[in-house]
Structure 1
Amino acid sequence: MTCLHHRAALFAGAALLVPAAAQASEEAQPERRYLPTDIIVTGESASDYDTQDGSSATKTPTPLIDVPQGVSYITEDQLEDQSIRQLNEALRYVPGISMETGEGHRDEVFIRGQESTADFYIDGLRDDAQYYRSLYNIERVEVLKGANALIFGRGAGGGAINRVAKRAELGSQATSGEASVDSFGAFALLADMNQPLSDSVALRINGTYEEFDSHRDFYEGRFIGVSPTLTAQLGPQTTLIASYTYDDDRRVTDRGIPSVDGAGPLRGYDDTFFGDPAFNEAEAQVHIGRIRLEHDFGGGLSANGTIHYADYDKVYANILPSGVDTAAQTVFLGGYRDYTDRENWIGQGNLVWQAGNDTVESTLLLGFEASRQDTRNGRDTVSFTRAAVPGGLDPNETPLADTIFVPPYTLDTGARLRNSELETLSFYLQEQLQIGDHIELVGGLRWDRFDLETLDVVGGVTGDRVDEKVSPRFGVIVKPNRDLSIYVSYAESFLPQAGDQFLVLSPTSAQFEPEKFTNYELGMKWAPLAKVLVTAAIFRLDRSKTPFTDSLGNTTLTGESRVEGFEIGAVGEISDFWKANIGYTYLDGELRSASSFGPAGQRLQQTPRHQIAAWNRFDVTQALGFGFGVIHQSDQYASFSNTVELPSYWRVDAAAFYTVSDRLSLQLNIENLFDETYYPSAHGNNNIQPAEPFSARIGVRFAL
């Protein structure tokens, strides 16, 4: 009944916007950008592109239409229109990405069928710890698809997710804020202030406070974030950008629900919390500081250098479901507490030289990156202490109920303690050659040295391995005209056998060279209108050198998988009143040979064949607008076992926008308009996350 009252009140609030709009003054809506600024060169030369904000896909001032790979963007304006605060929420609107639950405490994604907890970047620099990322200080989110080792280094086999951070702007004074609350009681407060300190120095501060809530029993939490940035013009050709971010996240660790009979999610318990609210808690404190220096030497030669430091302090504890006995109507539980401390130091430098004439133009990139990563990880395990009753329940077994009784347990400390030290050194070279008006060639190589030392403190086992890899990238772009490009590309990437997080080298993994990712792609980018970009691509992504252990215990690198697919999308301002970001992806992924993931022929986990994501904003008048969104994913398997299926689903979202004045606007967002029951993500077969039912958020945005 409470939910119905909430829903009625929210619809009534939306209805009040319509007559109010009829009386509103004809004040223009603020311009909404669904494409990054200057992604397409419309002038006669590349000088029209802002060289201080170069492309993340090439580390050079390259328009998106000349990038030979699939790239998806979500701009700040679209994030605001959808009232999205967290990265994992934003990525649900990117076809080709499916979300892993991340065990209820971290961002985790599948990009073109490849799972990752580490392929996250901020301004092109690695941000690889396991935590939830907020978007309060982010200008846009970029998803660069396919193997990306040349630009990003190790990993990024299926793609990379880059967040472009907000910067202080010289000569511009602005203050804005936002407040919102949803039908579950969750709320968010955001502030953004840009203040020039002189003609050559500006300070910008972004901050947020957010409290979480949802339909899930006992779920709650809060997030605090503050991010000051400083921009200083040190000379006519030299700019310094410094930034610091502090994020403090605390929330209940929610592992979702188990499966039943090895087939699908357990029905009827979508609100039930299969844990201990006094124990299931995740906390993360993150400090990230960056200093970037940019200099233009003139004559087409420019350089930039960045020093990046990050400190991550993370702990999470959870009781979680591990299986169901349907005959006895009981659920089995497990549990542990895990903690990680990590420090990252990264230094990166790039030299870009642009030269040429009317016949041939060259953009040459020379760069290096050096990093050090120190990680300490430990785990304490849960032991259930209730004595088993003959013919009765096991110590960790409890009856299924709307509120789960957690049997008594103790925490066994020191079950796992691991230290790792990782040092990397990389050099890369890339040439972008434009021949006449119709042909562009892109080619490059990256050399990486990867030096990992680990210590298993409990087992007393040390491991070390040094890998040196060369990763190539090649592309050919044909441009019948400046608004259309057709490309073919080849790229490789690698992932050391220690995995995404590099916590420990086992005696087996220390023997083997990294896994290999190879991406073949044929695509098109077309700008039919000045503010619209249409993209399409067909691709094949091969993963090889995956470990396989035979029946005799011999391990070899013979495992292979393949993903073949097609994607098409359109984004931008289709007309004066219609902005949209629409996409479809088809993925066909399977294991081609037996590996550590499973036998040959199995479908890749959490890789739906069909994905649709469409968001539209329609401005009916200069004061009133509406939003409409659709997400669809076809059925997918929760794991490589291919036994538990997450059913296909459609989700419809809606929004209403009312501009009171150029300084004040109101907004209503509805998620899951038709109250569909679906299960968008999982972590294995017995941690399946039910989606939120119908929910709504009302917000107000102001500018001073």
Structure 2
Amino acid sequence: MHPTRLALLIAALLPTAFLPRPAAAAEPVAAEPSADAAAPTDLDRVQVLGQRYLPEYSVRRTRSATRTDTPLRDVPQAITVVTDKLIEDQAMTGLADTFRYLPGVGTAQGEGNRDAPVLRGIATTADFFVDGMRDDVQYIRDLYNVERVEALKGPNAMVFGRGGSGGVINRITRQADGEDHRALSLLWGSWGRRRASVDLGTGIGEAGSGLRLNAMAEDSGSFRHDVRLKRHGVNPTLGLALGEATRLQLGYERFQDERTADRGVPSAFGRPLDIPRATFVGNPQASPVEATVDAFDAVLSHTTRNGLELRNHLRWADYDKFYQNVFPTGYAPATGLVSLGAYSNATRRRNLFNQTDAVWTLETGGVRHTLLAGAEFGRQVTDNRRLTGYFGNATSLLVPLADPTTTVVPDFRPSATDADNHGIARSAAVYVQDQIAFGPHWQAILGVRHDDFRMELRNNRTGGVLRTRDRVFAPRAGLVYKPVEALSLYASYSDSFLPRAGEQLASLTASNASLKPERFRNRELGLKWDLAPDLQASWALYRLTRNNVAITDPADPTRLLLVDGQTADGMELGLAGRVNAHWQLMGGYAWQKARIASTQSASVRAGNRVAMVPTHSASLWNRYDFNDRWGVGLGVVYRGAVFATADDLVQLPGFTRVDAAVFWTLSPTLRLQLNIENLGDRRYFASAHSNQNISPGAPRNAWLGVNLRF
């Protein structure tokens, strides 16, 4: 069935599903009570009203890291999870909001039009997944339908395929589960921010079958002048229990995001310009961003009588992204003039992926094996077109720093170097894995994946066609020692690769088409410790290297060399869960030393620090409930100084920001909350895309939320 028709069918059924259920026809009243009137009765389901709302900040298990249902404590890899309860308590709305509570994960600016995390020193705009499936287009993601966000650190092509150079960000979405879900959230905030979201679910038919609808709409302003945000999303899902051993899960999402591309302020004398935080440098009216996502998912799972688990996941997604921006490109202190540039970019991508996993558990001679075998096939069709903005016949416009917001709209037309291409990427992969338990103390994981990646890129301006094919093996190995059940120590090795087509499938050139893919290798030691039944701690020490980076041969400019490009050493600490019945927390600390190993740039030297990677960073959020009615939240976010780019010429100062919240439960179904961000009104710079595009952090602001469960 076409995904649009499926969505219309589910949308048509949902209103009737949530209507009050009619009472059964009246039965004649017997003169005397029946002898078995008190006999127990099996109920279809029970809806509990008035239960105290207890948010949880930790999870116990994941499927994402191993493709099997595994306790987090048994996975030899650093993983941080942000739950929907933490998201709600902090009034997070975008995926980037979660990054500040993911140790070792930072964020770049993304030119004001896309999510741009930096994982273990590797910046990415493509290493995003939804329920384990690739979601690699450049746009800004929302959290309205999210159950949790998982950061899986370190490259691991065995699980996720190409990319994932520093790790991946995986969103687990809410699904129809046959249970009742009835929640409404309303948010009002500073600068005219308004947002509403709803989560409705009900059971239908057989136990475990149900419908669920998550939806959101937002219309918000910003502390930045003339910067707007409008977005809405709807995600109906249908879950069907097809007998005791088979389940079908269907879902469709329509998401639209419109905003202003805000690229911040330029720099001078090695620091961002200290101008009023609200000042927009460029033309906000000529800097629109529009992103539309239509995605359909179908997951069919079945367990055979001998315990073999089979799972097939099909995802089709259509992405339509356009952005245009007029932004600062430099500042001349001697003249007091800011130079502006402009360009536009349109991307259309159609993704089709299919994954099949088979999992079988068996015991031989006291050794337990959890065997995984699977295959993944994908096809991605991408059209990309860029235009340069011309101010008359010039590609730049000078404006005074005293009034850097212009109303001049450039003329957008192609330059000689602007991209206009059509690409088709095809991938096929097979993988096997064995999770081995040698009694109660020792476990191991061994796996390997083979990817066959083919890329065809046509230059629409010249008619030239480039083709490349990469066949790559990606191993994974890990060893876990558990001296006691609550503590695990591990060592692991994993790697990944990035084809020359690049993470956005548009970087293929005649000079690099024949080169081997870039390789990323991660070596890691760590521990995971359940300090209490609901409190989890983790520690990881790692080295991540980037190899096969292409640079021009100094002795022969017509030839490219492959060299070691980057090394990142780091240590991470994490803590999440419930200390006692009243106190919950989520926090972490990261020490990172990410350096450039080799370069061909005259401005970037070997040994320079990698952009947007602080040496020290930390965060800690606490929620304390005094009683059933009142609670408070207090959070601290610290980030050390970072460089805007790898030339190490412009530095963003370090900062400490304090956030707070108050929670008031008026009744078992109604809760109010007030969130205050940047309580001390600290002036800081949050992120950068270049030395001349640096985003100021928001001043003190607040959200007022109403959360209703009915």
TM-score scaled by structure 1? Answer: 0.91
Distance 2:409 2:249 in 1: 53
Query: What's 1:431 paired with?
Result: 434
Deviation, structure 1 residue 137: 0.5
Match of 2:44 in 1: none
Query: What corresponds to 1:266 in structure 2?
Result: 273
Matched residue, 1:651? 657
**1:348 counterpart residue number:** 355
- Aligned counterpart, 2:583: 578
Paired position in structure 1 for 2:676: 670
Q: How does 1:144-543 map to 2 (within 5 A)?
A: 144-170=152-178, 172-200=179-207, 201-261=209-269, 263-356=270-363, 359-385=366-392, 396-407=397-408, 409-413=410-414, 415-543=418-546
Residue identity matched to 1:32: P
Q: What is the distance in 2 between the residues matched to 1:679 and 1:292?
A: 43
In structure 1, the residue matched to 2:39 is none
> The residue matched to 2:547 in structure 1 has which SS?
strand
Taking the aligned partners of 1:277 and 1:437, their CA distance within structure 2 comes to 61
Question: Could you tell me which residue of structure 1 aligns to residue 100 of structure 2?
Answer: 92
Q: Name whichever of 135-144 and 549-558 sits farther off.
A: 549-558
What amino acid is the match of 2:131?
Answer: D
Give the conservation status (yes or no) of the 8 Å contact 1:398–1:407. Answer: no
CA distance in 2 between partners of 1:408 and 1:293 (Å): 51
| Equivalent residue, structure 2, for 1:636 | 642
* 2:697 corresponds to: 691
Query: What's the RMSD between the two structures over aligned residues?
Result: 1.5
Which string of whole-angstrom CA distances, capped at 9 and with x for unpartnered residues, describes residues 665-704 of structure 1?
0000000000011112110111111110000000100011
Instruction: Tell me the CA shift for residue 412 of structure 1.
Output: 1.4
Which of 622, 627, 632 is equivalent to 2:633? 627
Residue equivalent to 1:682: 688
Report Cα offsets for 1:267-292 as digits up to 9, x if no partner: 11421112223211000110011000
Question: 8 Å contact 1:301–1:353 — kept in the other structure?
Answer: yes
Q: Is the 8 A contact 1:396 1:407 kept in 2?
A: no
- The code of the aligned residue for 2:577 comes to G
Q: Which deviations, in whole Å up to 9, do the C-alpha atoms of 1:390-414 show, x marking residues without a partner? A: xxxx961111124523556322147
**Structure 1: distance between partners of 2:620 and 2:473:** 38
Q: Retained in 1: the 8 A contact 2:213–2:236?
A: yes
* Corresponding residue SS for 1:425: strand
Partner of 2:18: none
Whole-angstrom distance in 1 between the partners of 2:476 and 2:430: 14
Higher mean Cα deviation, 265-274 or 443-452?
A: 265-274
- 1:620 Cα shift? 1.0
1:35 aligns with 2:43: no
**Contact 1:455-1:504 within 8 A present in 2 as well:** no
Counterpart for residue 618 of structure 2: 612
Q: What is aligned with 2:37?
A: none
What is the alpha-carbon distance in structure 1 between the residues aligned to residue 532 and residue 317 of structure 2?
41
Aligned pairs, number: 655
Separation (CA, whole Å) in 2 of partners of 1:412 and 1:678? 37
In 1, the alpha carbon distance for the partners of 2:505 and 2:582 equals: 49
Do the aligned partners of 1:540 and 1:563 also contact (CA within 8 Å) in 2? Answer: yes
Structure 2 spans left out of the alignment, 5+ residues: 1-49
Q: 1:396 to 1:535 in 2, by over 3 A?
A: same
Whole-Å separation in 1 of the counterparts to 2:169 and 2:156: 11
Taking the aligned partners of 2:76 and 2:354, their CA distance within structure 1 comes to 27
Asked if structure 1 preserves the Cα contact closer than 8 Å seen for 2:156 and 2:167, the reply is: yes
Tell me if structure 1 keeps the 8 A contact 2:126–2:504: yes
- Structure 1 segment 94-133 matched on structure 2, within 5 A: 94-133=102-141
Query: How far apart, CA to CA, are the structure 1 residues paired with 2:263 and 2:553?
Result: 33
The answer to whether the 8 A contact 1:395-1:407 is kept is no
Partners of 2:291 and 2:498 in 1: how far apart? 26
Q: Is the Cα–Cα contact under 8 Å of residues 456 and 465 in structure 2 kept in the other structure? A: yes
Aligned equivalents of 1:280 and 1:358: distance in 2?
66
1:355 shift after superposition: 1.1
Supply the distance in 2 between the matched residues of 1:395 and 1:588 (Cα, whole angstroms).
37
- 1:278 counterpart SS class: helix
Name the CA distance, whole Å, in 1 between partners of 2:396 and 2:521. 48
CA positional deviation for 1:178: 0.4
> Which residue matches 1:602?
608
Q: 1:184 is paired with a residue of what secondary structure?
A: helix
Task: Check if 1:590 corresponds to 2:591.
Answer: no
Gaps of 5+ in 1: 1-26, 40-53, 388-393
One-letter amino acid of the counterpart of residue 502, structure 1 = L
Question: What is the CA-CA distance between 1:457 and the residue it aligns to?
Answer: 1.3
Between the aligned partners of 2:703 and 2:377, the Cα distance in structure 1 is: 44
Counterpart contact for 2:131–2:172, Cα < 8 Å? yes
Report if the CA contact (8 A) 1:257-1:269 is conserved: no
Paired AA for residue 303 in structure 1:
L
SS at match of 2:101: coil
Equivalent position amino acid for 1:400 in 2: L
Cα distance per residue 1:371-396 (max 9 Å; x no partner): 00000000121111178xxxxxx961
Secondary structure of the corresponding residue to residue 539 of structure 2: strand
Match of residue 83, structure 1, among 91, 94, 115: 91
Give the corresponding residue for 1:6. none
Query: What secondary structure is seen at the aligned counterpart in 2 of 1:509?
Result: coil
* Aligned mates of 2:464, 2:642 — CA distance in 1: 38
Q: Would the aligned equivalents of 2:256 and 2:292 in 1 still touch at CA under 8 Å?
A: yes
SS across alignment from 1:673:
coil
Cα 1:343–1:315 change in 2 (3 A) is same
| Counterpart position of 1:569 | 574
Q: How much has 1:595 moved relative to structure 2?
A: 4.8
Amino acid at match of 1:108: A
- What is the distance in 2 between the residues matched to 1:34 and 1:373? 36
Q: Flag the 1:269–1:547 CA change in 2: closer, same or farther, 3 A.
A: farther
**Mapped contact 2:342–2:410 kept (Cα < 8 A):** no
% same residue: 37
What's 1:62 paired with? 70
Distance (Å, rounded) in 2 between the aligned partners of 1:416 and 1:125: 28
Which TM-score applies when normalising by structure 2?
A: 0.90
**What secondary structure is seen at the aligned counterpart in 2 of 1:680?**
strand
Query: What residue identity is the alignment partner of 2:474?
Result: S
Deviations 1:239-280 (Å, cap 9, x if unpaired)? 00000110011111111111113x111111421112223211
| C-alpha contact (below 8 Å) 1:29/1:659 kept by paired residues | no
